[in-house]
């Protein structure tokens, strides 16, 4: 009698399947009549699309969040956004900690893989800090938003503020204010600045958070220099984030200065504020204070680049990540200058990191290209609008040039798959299908020179 073969899943496969399970569970809840605003259940495809965009913290919507869903439906969406932002495995482990259950070695390995950490040491303590930090930042953001939303909406403003703070921190870009996102608040500095800070803090990555906290503590004790004491990862993430925000703001300011459909009639401070918000939100947040279809083609292409890069690793943002882009950039220049190794801030970048950066960008571009071709075949929209939508889905941004609500069934299915692939990461998907470790062979093929470029 043959023994039954036991199916074992790798950590990567478990993480991928956990996202699929959460999407399916969320879609079932959203397909219930109680989740719909009018009491009549929305079509299952729209429920599936909304569950996917929530778990994948993307923000593209096929039906308006503010009018299509009841309070129960909005609560389900908010829960999915929080789970998606932190990670399904992270939330489940947090529940176990809350119930005072022991986190086994298998769960610790899953958490290590989910957070892309180098060691299992202190993983539970790190998880507790993640939950505490998330609660503090989202809570503070909600309180600031209440100063605007409560006077305007009354008690309902509390719910709107909480939903907005969680959505902004998780870089989801979904809101329950209006169908045109935050366009009515384009001149409001409180909402603009609070939202930008929530987006940046969520997209910065937890590793950077605690590294900055560590350095501040060491400075007080030992009088060290702040920048010099940071890890290389934190230096790259912080400098790239600041550079992209400032460069994006300047680019949008120049390209939109005389555009009557966007900021031409704004005062100078409001122009800067609107361009700053656009620069921040394009890096995977998805909120909009100006309709994206009103921007010039030049601004749209700048937005495509910012969306593709996204936020920083081990955070709530998507994209290929700031550190990946920086490593790829310096590696290219090192090759041009005929240097053997790439370096940043007087530190050599490992060849493994360079190889992974190339793989991430290559696979992301492949997914983007295929989804763009498929979506272009499924709709007769303009090429720029199609590319904008697929980049937004791949990088889990959520900004739209008003194409998603007009898509048919095939178009929605294409974006559902694209959002999922963008959230779990192309490299994770490849690893999941090749989970078995292969031993490196001592016999290598001969090397032969080829012409490149």
pLDDT digits (tens, 9 = 90+) for 162-213: 999 999 999 998 999 988 899 999 999 999 999 999 999 998 888 888 888 8
324 has pLDDT over 70:
yes
9 has pLDDT over 80:
no
| Residues in the chain, overall count | 453
What's the pLDDT score for residue 89?
A: 66
List CB contacts of 280: < 8 A, sequence separation 6 or more.
Answer: 196, 199, 200, 245, 248
Q: Name the residue ranges covered by the structural domains of the chain.
A: 11-429
pLDDT digits (tens, 9 = 90+) for 202-219: 988 888 888 888 888 777
Q: Which of 176, 157, 179, 2 is nearest to 74 (CA)?
A: 176
d(CA 153, CA 146): 10
Q: What pTM value is reported for the model?
A: 0.89
List CB contacts of 132: < 8 A, sequence separation 6 or more.
Answer: none
Structure tokens at 393: 């889905």
What's the pLDDT score for residue 1?
A: 46
What's the pLDDT score for residue 112?
A: 63
Residue 247's Cβ-side half-sphere holds a number of Cα atoms within 13 Å equal to: 11
For the chain, count helices (H), then strands (E): 19, 2
**Of the given ranges (72-81, 120-129, 173-182, 306-315), which has the lowest mean pLDDT?**
120-129
Greatest pairwise CA separation for the chain in angstroms:
81
Neighbours of 419 (CB within 10 A): 30
Give me the residues paired with residue 261 across strands: none
| Cβ–Cβ under 8 Å, residues 206 and 115 | yes
Q: Which of 188, 192, 186 is nearest to 265 (CA)?
A: 186
End-to-end alpha-carbon separation of the chain, Å?
59
Structure tokens at 182: 């935050």
């Amino acid at each position: 009698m043959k023994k039954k073969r036991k199916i074992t899943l790798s950590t990567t496969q478990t993480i991928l399947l956990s996202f699929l399970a959460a999407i399916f569970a969320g879609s079932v809840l959203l397909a219930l009549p109680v989740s719909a605003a009018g009491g009549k259940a929305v079509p299952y495809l729209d429920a599936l699309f909304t569950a996917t965009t929530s778990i994948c913290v993307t923000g593209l919507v096929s039906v308006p969040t503010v009018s299509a869903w009841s309070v129960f439906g909005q609560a389900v969406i908010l829960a999915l956004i929080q789970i998606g932002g932190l990670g399904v495995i992270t939330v489940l482990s947090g529940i176990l900690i809350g119930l005072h259950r022991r986190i086994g070695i298998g769960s610790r390995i899953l958490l290590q893989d989910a957070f892309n950490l180098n060691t299992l040491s202190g993983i539970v303590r790190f998880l507790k800090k993640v939950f505490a930090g998330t609660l503090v930042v989202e809570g503070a953001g909600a309180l600031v938003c209440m100063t605007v939303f409560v006077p305007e909406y009354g008690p309902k403003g509390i719910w709107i503020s909480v939903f907005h703070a969680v959505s902004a921190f998780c870089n989801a870009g979904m809101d329950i204010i209006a169908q045109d996102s935050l366009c009515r608040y384009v001149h409001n500095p409180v909402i603009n600045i609070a939202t930008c800070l929530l987006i940046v803090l969520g997209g910065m990555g937890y590793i950077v958070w605690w590294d900055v906290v560590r350095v501040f503590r060491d400075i007080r004790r030992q009088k060290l220099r702040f920048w010099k004491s940071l890890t290389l990862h934190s230096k790259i993430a912080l400098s790239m984030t600041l550079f992209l925000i400032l460069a994006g703001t300047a680019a949008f300011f120049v390209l939109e200065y005389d555009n009557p459909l966007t900021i031409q009639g704004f005062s100078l401070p409001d122009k800067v504020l609107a361009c700053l918000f656009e620069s921040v939100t394009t890096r995977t947040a998805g909120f909009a204070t100006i309709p994206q279809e009103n921007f010039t083609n030049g601004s749209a292409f700048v937005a495509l680049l910012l969306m593709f890069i996204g936020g920083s690793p081990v955070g709530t943002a998507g994209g290929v990540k700031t550190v990946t882009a920086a490593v790829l950039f310096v590696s290219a220049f090192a090759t041009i200058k005929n240097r053997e190794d790439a370096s940043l801030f007087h530190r050599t970048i490992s060849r493994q990191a360079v190889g992974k950066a190339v793989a991430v960008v290559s696979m992301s571009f492949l997914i983007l290209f295929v989804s763009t071709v498929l979506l272009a075949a499924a709709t007769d929209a303009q090429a720029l609008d199609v590319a904008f939508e697929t980049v937004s889905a791949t990088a889990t941004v959520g900004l739209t040039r008003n194409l998603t609500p007009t898509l048919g069934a095939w178009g929605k299915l294409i974006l559902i798959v694209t959002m999922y692939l963008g959230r779990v990461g192309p490299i994770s998907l490849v690893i999941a299908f090749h989970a078995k470790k292969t031993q490196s062979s001592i016999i290598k093929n001969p090397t032969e020179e080829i012409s490149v470029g």
